[in-house]
Amino acid sequence: MDRKSYDNSLLRQAMSMERYAKIVYDAVLPQVEKLPMKEVWDAQKIFISGCGDSWLAGIAAKAAFESVTKIETNPMRAIEFSRILSNKNLGYSPNTPLVILISFSGSGSRVVECARRCNKYGANTIAITNNPDSLLGKECRYCICTGLPKGDEYQPGLITYNASMITLFLIALRIGRVRNKISYLECEDMQKELLEHISRCQKEYEGFAERAFAIAQRWKDLKAEDFIGDYSDYATAYFGSAKVIECFGGYTTYDDSEDWCHINYFLSDPERIGRVVVANEDTPSYKRLKETIAAVKILQSPCVIISDAKKEEFPDTMEVFSFPKAKYFWMQPLVQHIPFDMIAGYIAEIKGIPNFRKDDERYAAMGDQRSGEIVVL
């Protein structure tokens, strides 16, 4: 099989990540620097919300926010924020909490509902969107436009996910700087490192694509994919699972390294379930992840490991995608979703399935109805 004839959207997006990262960085940085000091200072708690990939960007950025701002940060499912979260958490002090709402289009009902709820109770809001004229852009007190060129290829979301993460990281740095938790020098270095880490990793992608294509051929007929990751790396795991569904509708499941041992370990036909584990060397649960990987080995499941550790750290029966170490550990989620994006993209192409079930008109007909009624509680 000739890999070149199985080109796909996720692969193209992965290959142009460096270029888009620079576009987003240049567009976002000046906007972030204008966020007023007083309001940034007032934030006693931070919520990050959005739907699907946007929520995952919040999880991916949680460690960065905690490390750099030292403020309690809660990524929250959009429905949880807009309907379930107690009002007591909103507007209990001026400009608090700071609520960051993410939506590429800015039109999803649920994020708009979140923004309106914040406005009702006096929380501060920042929208991250590519459409500042959208409902979300208008509802929020501040709007950061990610500046991605209109009309380019962004589906299934990969560049948009990265744009959300880069924007979140830059907001975190702004907050950390204003609150004097990081110095000018650290801030400058972290900003620089954001782009440099992406560039360093980009050099690996041609080789990754080759291996991803080989794995896709072996994995295309598996029963399901099962993803494992902890804390911010849970976002990478979950994102991989979402891409499987979006690309070819595959069956997936996901969990953390501890609960996986209690539940998903028992899935039937383990040899027909592809396991993907995100296990970075400096993460506090690294040893637990390695124990979990040992259990995966017993089950003889095909397994891909995404890590910044050396290949030799893991069983030699497993495929390891080794990433360069990030100078700041919290930057790893920016890039580590790439290997499985490639695998998912290739499987879809090999199977001849279009993204988002476009081959089945039942799915296409529902497109508009995904938003729904807005209720402000």
Partner 1 sequence: MVFTKEYELVTGRDLLTKITSKVDEAIKESGIKDGIVVVETRYSTAGILKISRHGEEILDDIVREMRRIVPARINYYHQDSPENAAGHIKSALYGSSVSLILKDGRLYCEDSQDLYFAEYDGPRNRTYAVCVMGEKA
Partner 2 sequence: MKHSDYTSSMLEQVRNSVKDIETIAEKETFEFFENCVPYDIVKKIGNVLITGCGDSYCAAVATKPVFENADTSTKTGMVPGTPTSAFRNIEFSRYFNTYGGWNPLTNERNALLVISISGSPARVNEAALRIKKHGGTAIAFTANPEGKLAGNCDCVIPMVLPDYDLAPNVTSYYSSVFSLMMFGFYMSKAKAQLSEKQAQACREGLLEYVKSYDEETMERLSVQCFELAKKWEEDGVDNMDFIGDGPDYATAFFGSAKMVESFGGLTTNDDSEDWCHINYFIKDSDHVGTFVVANEDSPAFSREVETIKLASMIRKHVVVITDCDKDIFPENVEIIKVPKPRSVWMHPLMEHIPLDFVAGYIGCWRGRMPFRSGEEPYCQDGNASRFRNSEIEIL
What per-residue string of b and e applies to 309-338 under the rule 16 or more CB within 10 Å gives b?
A: beeeebeeebbbbbbebbebbbbbbbbbbb
Pairing of strands 98-102, 319-322: unpaired
For residue 5, the partner it binds in partner 2, partner 1, none, with Cβ less than 5 to 8 A by kind, is none
Of the candidate spans 135-143, 144-152, 337-345, 349-357, the one that interacts with partner 2 by CB under 8 A turns out to be: 349-357
For residue 291, the partner it binds in partner 1, partner 2, none, with Cβ less than 5 to 8 A by kind, is partner 2
- Tell me which amino acid residue 242 is: A
Of the candidate spans 122-130, 160-168, 172-180, 265-273, the one that interacts with partner 2 by CB under 8 A turns out to be: 265-273
Binding-site string for partner 2 from residue 85 to residue 124, where x marks contact by CB under 8 A and - marks none: xxxx---------------------x--------------
For residue 34, the partner it binds in partner 1, partner 2, none, with Cβ less than 5 to 8 A by kind, is partner 1
Q: Which of 47, 104, 205, 248 binds partner 2 (CB under 8 A)?
A: 248
Segment 141 to 200, residues that bind partner 1, using CB under 8 A: 177-178, 180, 183-186
- SS3 state at 183: coil
Q: Where are the alpha helices (DSSP H) in the chain?
A: 9-15, 17-33, 37-42, 53-69, 78-79, 109-121, 135-139, 159-178, 184-202, 205-219, 232-248, 257-262, 286-299, 338-351, 361-364
Residue entry with tokens 């701002």: 69
What per-residue string of b and e applies to 117-147 under the rule 16 or more CB within 10 Å gives b?
A: bbbeeebbbbbbbbbbebbbbebbbbbbbbb
Instruction: Report, in Å, the least distance between residue 182 CB and partner 1.
Output: 10
Q: Are 40 and 178 in contact (CB under 8 A)?
A: yes
Residue entry with tokens 């007591």: 88
Residue 108 CA to residue 160 CA, distance in Å, equals 15
For residue 259, the partner it binds in partner 2, partner 1, none, with Cβ less than 5 to 8 A by kind, is partner 2
Q: How many residues bind partner 2 (CB under 8 A)?
A: 76
Report if residue 266 touches partner 1, rule: CB under 8 A: no
Report if residue 284 touches partner 2, rule: CB under 8 A: yes
Q: Which among 49, 62, 55, 9 is positioned nearest to 238, based on CA atoms?
A: 55
For residue 158, the partner it binds in partner 1, partner 2, none, with Cβ less than 5 to 8 A by kind, is none
Instruction: Report, in Å, the least distance between residue 158 CB and partner 2.
Output: 15
Q: Which of 1, 19, 26, 38 binds partner 1 (CB under 8 A)?
A: 38
Report if residue 222 touches partner 2, rule: CB under 8 A: no
- Tell me which amino acid residue 144 is: I
Interface residues with partner 1 (CB under 8 A) are: 33-34, 36-38, 40-41, 177-178, 180, 183-186
